[in-house]
Amino acid sequence: MPLAQHRYNTGQGLVEYALIVLFISLAAVTALTALGVTLDSFYSRVVPALSP
């Protein structure tokens, strides 16, 4: 395999991994945002019930 082709393949792999990391990060942010709203609602109901 010529050196130029090898460098292209290496760069292509790097871009693919970067895209995977990007999509996983976006999914994590979306999930944590939704979970945060749910937990806020949960704590808003629980805290008054625990107050003396």
User: What ranges do the domains of the chain cover?
Assistant: 20-46
Q: Is the pLDDT of residue 7 over 70?
A: no
DSSP SS3 for 1? coil
Calculate the alpha carbon distances from 41 to 10, 33, 44 in Å: 47, 13, 5
Residue-level pLDDT at 22: 98
pTM (2 decimals)?
0.58
Predicted local confidence at residue 31, as pLDDT: 94
Q: What is the pLDDT of residues 9-42, one digit of tens each?
A: 667 788 899 999 999 999 999 999 999 888 888 8
Whether residue 2 is predicted with pLDDT greater than 90 in this model: the reply is no
> Bigger pLDDT: 49 or 6?
49
